[in-house]
C-alpha cells in the first residue's frame, strides 16, 4: 500500500474510532487499533536514542567475537512489556546484518533505518503484554565517530589485541539491539565467546568459563538493572585479578597485558585502594549499591574513563605521569562514586548530567580532604577565584548544557561547586543527609534535577530555588557563598602562609588533572 493511501486509511480509521468513542462516551468500548511504537525516547538532546511503546526488563546477550577478523555474531533475547497496543516497535541498532527476528517465538519481519531496527511482529502486542524478542545479527561492529572531528569516541573500538565497547551516550546500539536510553533500565546476562587465548570481561560476576575446542565462553550477570550505556564488554589479553575488599565485596580487576613496568605498578597501587575508596564513599553516601566492583584498564585511544556498572573502564594514560602519583587515584574515586550517582540513581533525561558528573567530582574533593586535609571549600575557593567573571566556566548552564557541552569541564567543576554551595547553605549534616537519602530512596531507579532540589528543600526546610538557579541555570558567575573560617579549612588544620602555598599547589594539581581528563570530552 502506498504511503498516502495508508495515511488516509489510518485517518479514516482514527476518525471512526473517535466517532465511536464520542457516541459511547469513550472508555473501553472504543478499541483503537494498535499503532507503531516511536523511534525515540523523547529526549531532546538525542531524539533518535531510545524508543517508545514498550519497556525492557531483561537483556540476554550471546556474543561471539573473533579479534582476528573483527567479526561479531550476536543473539539478543530481549524481554519487554508493551506500554500501549503495539503494531510495530523500534530497537536501536547501528550497523550489522540482521539475520532473523522472532517475537514470542514467531518469525517477524523487520526494516532498517540508520540507527534503528524496526520490528513488525506477526500479531499486534496488546498493552501490558510481556513479550520476548530474539534478534540474530552479525557483522564487524563500528565505533561511534564524533560527527565533527570524525574521531572514534565510543561504540565498539578495536584495540591492538581485541576490542572494547565503551562510550557515553553512544555505545550500546553499536553492539546489540537495545532501547538505548538510561530511562529504560534492565538486567543483563552477557555470554561472551572468544578464541580461548583471549579474556572476555563484562559487568557483574561471572560463572567459571567453559572451553570447547578453540573457543572459551564466559557468562556475566548483573544482579541489578542498568542503563544501557553502562553495559560493556572488553576482549583481549588481560591479567585478571579477583579479590575481595575488607568488607567482603568481590572485586575483579583486569589490566591489559601490554601494560608493564612502573606504569603497571602505579595502576595496581591505585586499584588496590578500591576497598578503601568504596569504604570512604560508603561512609559519605550510604552502602555501596552493587554486588561487585573492579576495573578494566585497556589500551584504547579514548581520553575518558567510564563508570560501567560494577566495573569502570580506564585508559592507562591516567597513570601516565609519574610526577602526579595521586592522579590515578582521583579518577578511580570519580568512577566509583558514579556507582551511586549515575548508575544506581540514573538519569531520566540527559540534560541532568550534572547529577552524575558534579557528584562524582565532589567525591574527589571529599577524597582530597581525607588524603591531604584540603577541604572542599578550599578547592571551591581556588576554582572560584581562578575563574573570573568572564571565564568560560560561567557561560555553561550546567543544569541544561546542551548535547554539545554535555561533558564540558563546567558540568564537572561548576556541578561540584553547586554541591559545595548547597553544603554551605544547609550545613554539613543536612548536606550528607540529602546525598544519602537521594542514593537510598532512588537506588536502582532514576532522579531529575527538580527532584533533587525538592529533596534538598524538604530535608533542609529551606527555600533553595534561587541558589540552584544561580549555580545551574545562569550564564553569569554566581555570588560567593558566605562561609565561616571553620567551614573553609576545617577545625583541625594549620593556617598561615605556608599552608596557603601548599593549598595552592595541591589545588593547581587537582585542577590541572581535571582539565586533562575533560579535554578529550569536547565534541
Q: Which of 57, 31, 40, 51 is nearest to 126 (CA)?
A: 31
Phi, psi of 207 (to 5 degrees): -80, 155
Q: Does 367 bind ligand ARG (CB under 6 A)?
A: no
Q: Which of 461, 470, 481, 476 is nearest to 420 (CA)?
A: 481
Q: Does 304 bind ligand ARG (CB under 6 A)?
A: yes
Cβ proximity to ligand ARG: between 91 and 166 the closer is 166
Nearest approach, Cβ of residue 354 and ligand ARG (Å) = 12
Cβ proximity to Zn ion: between 216 and 416 the closer is 416
- Among the listed ranges 193-201, 276-284, 333-341, 485-493, the one in contact with ligand ARG (CB under 6 A) is 333-341
C-alpha cell, 213: 575446542
Phi, psi of 376 (to 5 degrees): -55, -35
Cβ proximity to Zn ion: between 131 and 359 the closer is 359
C-alpha cell, 106: 514467531
Nearest approach, Cβ of residue 86 and ligand ARG (Å) = 32
Q: What is the DSSP string of 85-139?
A: -BS-EEEE--SSEEEEEEETTEE-EEEEETTEEEEE-SS-B-TT-EEEEEEEEEE
- The size of the interface with Zn ion (CB under 5 A), counted in residues, is 2
The answer to whether residues 137 and 124 touch, using CB atoms and an 8 Å cutoff, is: no
Applying CB under 5 A, which of residues 166, 300, 346, 360 lies at the interface with Zn ion?
360
Q: Is beta strand 186-195 parallel, antiparallel or unpaired with respect to 54-66?
A: parallel
Cβ proximity to ligand ARG: between 90 and 517 the closer is 517
Applying CB under 6 A, which of residues 119, 234, 306, 336 lies at the interface with ligand ARG?
306
Nearest approach, Cβ of residue 155 and ligand ARG (Å) = 10
Cβ proximity to ligand ARG: between 303 and 490 the closer is 303
> What are the strands, taking DSSP E only, across 108-214?
109-113, 116-120, 130-139, 143-145, 152-159, 162-165, 186-195, 199-201, 205-206, 210-212
Cβ contacts of residue 501 below 8 Å, gap of 6+?
Answer: none
Nearest approach, Cβ of residue 341 and ligand ARG (Å) = 10
Q: Which does 168 bind (CB under 5 to 8 A by kind): ligand ARG, Zn ion, none?
A: ligand ARG
- Among the listed ranges 38-46, 233-241, 330-338, 496-504, the one in contact with ligand ARG (CB under 6 A) is 330-338
Cis peptide before 169 (omega within 30 of 0): yes
Applying CB under 6 A, which of residues 96, 220, 407, 438 lies at the interface with ligand ARG?
407
Cβ proximity to ligand ARG: between 110 and 290 the closer is 290
Q: Which does 305 bind (CB under 5 to 8 A by kind): ligand ARG, Zn ion, none?
A: ligand ARG
Cβ contacts of residue 34 below 8 Å, gap of 6+?
Answer: 84, 85, 86, 87, 124, 125, 126
- Among the listed ranges 209-217, 300-308, 314-322, 420-428, the one in contact with ligand ARG (CB under 6 A) is 300-308
Site for ligand ARG in 147-176 (CB under 6 A): 153-154, 167-168
Q: Greatest CA separation found in the chain?
A: 84
Cβ proximity to Zn ion: between 238 and 368 the closer is 368
Rounded Cα–Cα distance for residues 183 and 523 (Å):
23
Q: Which does 521 bind (CB under 5 to 8 A by kind): ligand ARG, Zn ion, none?
A: ligand ARG
Q: Does 226 bind ligand ARG (CB under 6 A)?
A: no
For the chain, how are helix, strand and coil distributed in percent, rounded to 5? 35, 25, 35
Nearest approach, Cβ of residue 46 and ligand ARG (Å) = 12
Nearest approach, Cβ of residue 271 and Zn ion (Å) = 18
Rounded Cα–Cα distance for residues 95 and 61 (Å):
17
Nearest approach, Cβ of residue 405 and ligand ARG (Å) = 11
Q: Does 307 bind ligand ARG (CB under 6 A)?
A: yes
Cβ proximity to ligand ARG: between 157 and 453 the closer is 157
Cβ proximity to ligand ARG: between 144 and 380 the closer is 144
Applying CB under 6 A, which of residues 98, 227, 305, 345 lies at the interface with ligand ARG?
305
Cβ proximity to Zn ion: between 95 and 154 the closer is 154
The answer to whether residues 393 and 475 touch, using CB atoms and an 8 Å cutoff, is: no
- Among the listed ranges 216-224, 272-280, 299-307, 492-500, the one in contact with ligand ARG (CB under 6 A) is 299-307
Cβ contacts of residue 412 below 8 Å, gap of 6+?
Answer: 357, 358, 360, 361, 514, 518
Please give the residue ranges that form the binding site for Zn ion (CB under 5 A): 357, 360
Please give the residue ranges that form the binding site for ligand ARG (CB under 6 A): 153-154, 167-168, 304-307, 334-335, 338, 407, 521
Amino acid at each position: 500500500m502506498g504511503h498516502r493511501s495508508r495515511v488516509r486509511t489510518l485517518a479514516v480509521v482514527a476518525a471512526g474510532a473517535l466517532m465511536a468513542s464520542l457516541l459511547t462516551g469513550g472508555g473501553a468500548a472504543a478499541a483503537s487499533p494498535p499503532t507503531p511504537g516511536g523511534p525515540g525516547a523523547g529526549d531532546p538532546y538525542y531524539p533518535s536514542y531510545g524508543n517508545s511503546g514498550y519497556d525492557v526488563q531483561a537483556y540476554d546477550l550471546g556474543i561471539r567475537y573473533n579479534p582476528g577478523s573483527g567479526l561479531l555474531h550476536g543473539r539478543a533475547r530481549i524481554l519487554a512489556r508493551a506500554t500501549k497496543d503495539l503494531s510495530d516497535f523500534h530497537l536501536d541498532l547501528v550497523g550489522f546484518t540482521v539475520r532473523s527476528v522472532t517475537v514470542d517465538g514467531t518469525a517477524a519481519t523487520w526494516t532498517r533505518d540508520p540507527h534503528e531496527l524496526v520490528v513488525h511482529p506477526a500479531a499486534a502486542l496488546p498493552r501490558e503484554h510481556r513479550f520476548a524478542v530474539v534478534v540474530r545479527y552479525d557483522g564487524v561492529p563500528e565505533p561511534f565517530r564524533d560527527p565533527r572531528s570524525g574521531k572514534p569516541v565510543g561504540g565498539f573500538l578495536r584495540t591492538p589485541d581485541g576490542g572494547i565497547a565503551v562510550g557515553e551516550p553512544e555505545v550500546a546500539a553499536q553492539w546489540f539491539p537495545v532501547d538505548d536510553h538510561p530511562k529504560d533500565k534492565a538486567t543483563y546476562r552477557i555470554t561472551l565467546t572468544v578464541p580461548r587465548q583471549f579474556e572476555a570481561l563484562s559487568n557483574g560476576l561471572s560463572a567459571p568459563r567453559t572451553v570447547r575446542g578453540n573457543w572459551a565462553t564466559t557468562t556475566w550477570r548483573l544482579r541489578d538493572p542498568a542503563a544501557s550505556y553502562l553495559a560493556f564488554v572488553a576482549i583481549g589479553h588481560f591479567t585478571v585479578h579477583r579479590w575481595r575488599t575488607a568488607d567482603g565485596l568481590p572485586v575483579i580487576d583486569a589490566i591489559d597485558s601490554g601494560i608493564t613496568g612502573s606504569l603497571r605498578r602505579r595502576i595496581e597501587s591505585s586499584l588496590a585502594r578500591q576497598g578503601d575508596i568504596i569504604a570512604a564513599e560508603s561512609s559519605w553516601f550510604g552502602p555501596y549499591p552493587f554486588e561487585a566492583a573492579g576495573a578494566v584498564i585497556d589500551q584504547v585511544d579514548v581520553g575518558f574513563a567510564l563508570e560501567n556498572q560494577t566495573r569502570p573502564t580506564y585508559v592507562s594514560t591516567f597513570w601516565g605521569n609519574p610526577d602526579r602519583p595521586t592522579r590515578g587515584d582521583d579518577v578511580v574515586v570519580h568512577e566509583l562514586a558514579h556507582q551511586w550517582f549515575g548508575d544506581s540513581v540514573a538519569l531520566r533525561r540527559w540534560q541532568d548530567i550534572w547529577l552524575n558528573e558534579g557528584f562524582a567530582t565532589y567525591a574527589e574533593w571529599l577524597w582530597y580532604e581525607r588524603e591531604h586535609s584540603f577541604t572542599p571549600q578550599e578547592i571551591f575557593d581556588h576554582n572560584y577565584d581562578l575563574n573570573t567573571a568572564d571565564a568560560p566556566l560561567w557561560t555553561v548552564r550546567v543544569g541544561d548544557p546542551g548535547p554539545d557541552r554535555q561533558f564540558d569541564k563546567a558540568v564537572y567543576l561548576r556541578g561540584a561547586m553547586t554541591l559545595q554551595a548547597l553544603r554551605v547553605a544547609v550545613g554539613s549534616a543536612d548536606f550528607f543527609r540529602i546525598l544519602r537519602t537521594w542514593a537510598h530512596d532512588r537506588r536502582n531507579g532514576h532522579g531529575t534535577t527538580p527532584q533533587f532540589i525538592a529533596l534538598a528543600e524538604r530535608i533542609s526546610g529551606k527555600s533553595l530555588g534561587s541558589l540552584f538557579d544561580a549555580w545551574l541555570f545562569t550564564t553569569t558567575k554566581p555570588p560567593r557563598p558566605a562561609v565561616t573560617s571553620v567551614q573553609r579549612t576545617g577545625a583541625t588544620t594549620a593556617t598561615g602562609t605556608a599552608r596557603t602555598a601548599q593549598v595552592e599547589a595541591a589545588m593547581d594539581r587537582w585542577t590541572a588533572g581535571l582539565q586533562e581528563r575533560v579535554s578529550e570530552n569536547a565534541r
